[in-house]
Amino acid sequence: MGPVKLAIVGGGPSAFYVASRLLSLLPHSNASSPPLKIHLFDRLWAPHGLVRYGVAPDHPEVKNCTNKFDTAAADPRFRFFGNVNIGNAPLSSIPHALTVPLSSLYEHYTHLLFASGCTIPTLHSAVPPSAHCIPALSLVHWYTQHPSRPAPPSLDKITHVTLIGNGNVSLDIARILLTSPSVLAKYDVPQPVLEVLSRSAVRHVSIVGRRGPLEAAFTMKELREMINLPEASMVPIEPSLLSPPSSTQLTRQQSRVLDLLRKGSKNPPGSTSKSWSLDFFRSPTGLTPPSPSSPSAKLSLAHTALDPTTNRAIPTGETSALSTSLVVTSLGFRADPETSFYDPGLTHLRSMAGRIISSSGNALKNIYSSGWAANGAKGVLASTMMDAYAVADTILSDITPGSDTVETTPTSTTREVGISSADTLNSDPHPENPPPEINDGLKAGLVTQYKDWKAIDAEEIRRGELLGKERERMNWEEARAFLSQSS
């Protein structure tokens, strides 16, 4: 067995779970383990991806997985390089990220894993982005202080928010908007975000879904949190929507959802200054901006019903209009189309059982994908971990091949968009060194390492303690200045 030098593109949970699994299955102390090095590259300067920049701040328990990631990062065979964009062009959304071409990874590594996630929001054709319609990702990245720095919403001028889509992200946003900043202040919510929330004029949040309560994408936990909001009440749902036909076989989850919705919110309707509604069987068809005669935007909605044969939403012919200040589309995510091996039909990378597949259907030698990059934007952290472990096992089977070895094709023999014949992984790279661009970035203070992150992590927690909260986040400029002063 020759030395294994694995490059991982992406620094979220899937990437860390794969690394952790490989490091544990090939222990450093075992003389029979092949020499192993894992270099993890992330376009963000801080690690952990959605755990830091996607998890709602009032769900701190979800972030406990970072303890496992810290353990993996402490292994001397692991290195993290943050603020590094692996691609052929600079990122306009994160201009300070160092761009390194993918060809550099081919030149310096024996194996390559794409764990780059799904970073592009899915938009709605009837309500494209505008001054009155934004993707949910913009709000999530605002309240998590993502390095892309989306503009804060003008909440002091917004009284009614309409969310299109009823998954957990929608409920996260609704909960943040309807929770008092005094409650959120103890969590990982940056002070500038709290200041905007303190001026919020939002009084109602509508959550629109094209199908019914049995098909809603939110989890019980998220729904229960909405039901129990201390300062908001739920608009009662039409009872007929909560009474499925007797022939319908309900799952345990569906039965519990209906029971909760029948009971309604802890606060009686109309007893609070803030409210929210679940508007089922509605699908947007257009958005009319405000005018001098109509100060609110008008969201046109087609009424829908379920097609009994396909379970898809179909229009009934009825329509209505909803006056709203802001529409937020929360319809899922797709991988970046600029990523190598992206399949537009799948909206994520072409892969099978953890292996990247060529356009002709061949498994490519020593090239893998995991997490949302491989499977699309679905699943929670537990399913991400199980998928990552399976991909790690696939990589291990190639490192220590047996009788069930899978036949693979070298990249150089394929004709892939963005891949040249020279893009073949190096069977004998330098055992330690990253690409030279990384070393130059480290010298210039542009690239972060995991020890840098741990220093920043401790400082953010210290700053948070002074304010009586979980942490106070740094932006890139603050982090870079702090690191330069600490060195």
CB–CB of 339/373 below 8 Å? Answer: yes
Is 366 marked as a binding-site residue? no
Is 50 marked as a binding-site residue? yes
Residue 93, exposed/middle/buried by CB under 10 A (0-12, 13-18, 19+)? middle
For residue 83, the surrounding DSSP H or E stretch is: none
Is 237 marked as a binding-site residue? no
Relative to beta strand 204-208, strand 342-343 is unpaired
Q: Round to whole Å and give the CA distance between 299 and 319.
A: 11
Is 276 marked as a binding-site residue? no
CB–CB of 234/275 below 8 Å? Answer: yes
* Helix, strand, coil distribution of the chain in percent, nearest 5: 35, 20, 45
Q: Round to whole Å and give the CA distance between 52 and 190.
A: 12
CB atoms within 10 A of CB 184: 21
Q: Round to whole Å and give the CA distance between 151 and 417.
A: 34
CB–CB of 290/296 below 8 Å? Answer: yes
Is 475 marked as a binding-site residue? no
CA-based end-to-end distance of the chain: 39
Is 356 marked as a binding-site residue? no
Is 14 marked as a binding-site residue? yes
Is 379 marked as a binding-site residue? yes
Is 476 marked as a binding-site residue? no
Is 222 marked as a binding-site residue? yes
User: Which DSSP category does 474 fall into?
Assistant: -
Q: Round to whole Å and give the CA distance between 5 and 166.
A: 42
Is 88 marked as a binding-site residue? no
For residue 202, the surrounding DSSP H or E stretch is: none
CA atoms within 13 A on the CB side of 378: 7
Residue 417, exposed/middle/buried by CB under 10 A (0-12, 13-18, 19+)? exposed
Is 86 marked as a binding-site residue? yes
Q: Round to whole Å and give the CA distance between 311 and 318.
A: 19
Residues making up the annotated binding site are: 14, 50, 86, 166-169, 210-211, 222, 372, 379
Residues making up the annotated binding site for NADP(+) are: 166-169, 210-211, 222, 379
Residues making up the annotated binding site for FAD are: 14, 50, 86, 372
